[in-house]
């Protein structure tokens, strides 16, 4: 959207997207409390260093920030110990390619993001931790950051976790305790960690139902729990299925693709692992 003519007086009419606000240094001069709609997107605001007034709009439900090179915090104001509800209605937050982002808030305070249910983080290398977000259900992290991954164990209400990385990632294991407190986790997707050999060594949540591991070439072991779906793509280092898979009576669907050793071992009737998976109602092997 062209920013010419956009003022605090008429900003409230725009409820979908504000994009490519390239020349902004700060948004503090805009009266964002007037925003009446659900979503805002800021793209390529490379000079913007502050979003100081963003904690004020009570109706904002979705916020996307892309390519903002100098942004360090979504909110860098201090409230002198007062209890403030920060981003009170925000449900979806997308943060992508923010090279200097250090935190969601400079000072964690009050009731932060009380309605936030979905958070997506991509290529924010200086973001070292996720704060305690009690309402968060879905988290997606793209781009390797070991400290950030280690902080997600405090997100006890998380039901869906998606971890994506580039093909050049050298990570062989995840931080110890990463999944330890995620007792509500039902869906886990670990995508494109080509050097990953093992999953977190703490016991997996028995409530987890869906586990997807595409493009993890060197993964050598799988969890054993009450899964309903298991998808294995391009995991050439996985040489056999765990013995415990035969006891996963809730498993309804197994997909194995581009994993030649496993495909051979799971061949119907003759494969060495066939008896482990014969009870599964839906199989896709190839």
Q: Looking at residue 20, what is its pLDDT?
A: 46
Q: Looking at residue 200, what is its pLDDT?
A: 73
* Average pLDDT estimate for 44-68: 75
Does the pLDDT at position 13 exceed 50?
no
User: Is residue 81 very low, low, confident or very high in pLDDT (cuts 50, 70, 90)?
Assistant: low
pLDDT in tens, 186-242: 999 999 888 888 887 665 566 788 999 998 888 887 776 678 899 999 998 889 998
pLDDT in tens, 118-129: 999 999 999 999
User: Could you give the CA distance from residue 16 to residue 286 in angstroms, rounded to a whole number?
Assistant: 44
User: Is residue 171 very low, low, confident or very high in pLDDT (cuts 50, 70, 90)?
Assistant: confident
Q: If DSSP codes are grouped into helix, strand and coil, which group holds residue 283?
A: strand
Polymer length in residues for the chain: 286
Close Cβ partners of 265 (under 8 Å, ≥ 6 residues apart): 240, 241, 271, 272, 273, 274
Does the pLDDT at position 16 exceed 70?
no
User: Could you give the CA distance from residue 210 to residue 239 in angstroms, rounded to a whole number?
Assistant: 21
Token reading at 112: 């932060």
In what side-by-side order are the strands of the sheet with 62-66? 39-43, 62-66, 92-96, 118-122, 138-142, 160-164, 187-191, 210-214, 229-233, 253-257, 282-285
Q: Looking at residue 53, what is its pLDDT?
A: 47
Q: Looking at residue 155, what is its pLDDT?
A: 95
- Phi/psi of residue 233, nearest 5 degrees: -120, 130
User: Is residue 11 very low, low, confident or very high in pLDDT (cuts 50, 70, 90)?
Assistant: very low
Does the pLDDT at position 163 exceed 90?
yes
Q: If DSSP codes are grouped into helix, strand and coil, which group holds residue 69?
A: coil
* Average pLDDT estimate for 40-67: 75
Q: Looking at residue 3, what is its pLDDT?
A: 46
Q: Looking at residue 201, what is its pLDDT?
A: 62
Cβ atoms of 1 and 17 within 8 Å: the answer is yes
Domains of the chain: 56-285 (3.80.10.10)
Q: Looking at residue 116, what is its pLDDT?
A: 96
User: Is residue 55 very low, low, confident or very high in pLDDT (cuts 50, 70, 90)?
Assistant: very low
Q: If DSSP codes are grouped into helix, strand and coil, which group holds residue 52?
A: helix
Q: Looking at residue 52, what is its pLDDT?
A: 59
Cβ atoms of 259 and 234 within 8 Å: the answer is yes
> Is the pTM above the cut of 0.95?
no
Q: Say which residue, 39 or 148, is predicted with more confidence.
A: 148
Please give the distance of CA 92 from its chain centroid, rounded to a whole number.
Answer: 12
């Amino acid at each position: 959207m062209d920013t010419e003519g956009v003022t605090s007086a008429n900003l409230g009419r725009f409820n979908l997207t504000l994009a490519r606000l390239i020349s902004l240094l700060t948004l503090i001069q805009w009266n964002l409390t007037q925003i009446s709609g659900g979503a805002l997107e800021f793209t390529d605001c490379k000079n913007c260093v502050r979003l100081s007034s963003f904690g004020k709009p009570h109706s904002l439900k979705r916020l996307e920030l892309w390519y903002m090179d100098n942004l360090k915090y979504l909110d860098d104001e201090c409230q002198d110990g007062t209890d403030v509800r920060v981003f009170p209605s925000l449900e979806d937050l997308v943060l992508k390619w923010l090279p200097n982002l250090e935190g969601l808030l400079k000072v964690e305070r009050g009731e932060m993001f009380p309605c936030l249910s979905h958070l997506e983080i991509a290529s924010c290398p200086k973001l070292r931790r996720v704060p305690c977000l009690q309402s968060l259900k879905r988290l997606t992290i793209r781009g390797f950051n070991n400290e950030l991954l280690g902080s997600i164990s405090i997100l006890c209400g998380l039901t869906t976790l998606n971890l994506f990385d580039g093909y050049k990632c050298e990570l062989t294991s995840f931080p110890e305790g990463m999944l330890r407190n995620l007792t509500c986790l039902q869906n886990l997707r670990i995508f494109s960690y080509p050097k990953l050999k093992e999953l977190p060594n703490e016991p997996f949540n028995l409530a987890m139902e869906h586990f997807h591991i595409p493009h993890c070439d060197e993964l050598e072991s799988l969890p054993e729990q009450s899964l309903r779906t298991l998808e294995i793509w391009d995991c050439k280092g996985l040489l056999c299925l765990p013995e415990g898979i035969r006891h996963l009576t809730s498993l309804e669907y197994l997909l194995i693709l581009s994993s030649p050793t496993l495909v051979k071992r799971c061949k119907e009737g003759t494969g060495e692992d066939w008896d482990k998976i014969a009870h599964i109602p839906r199989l896709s092997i190839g």
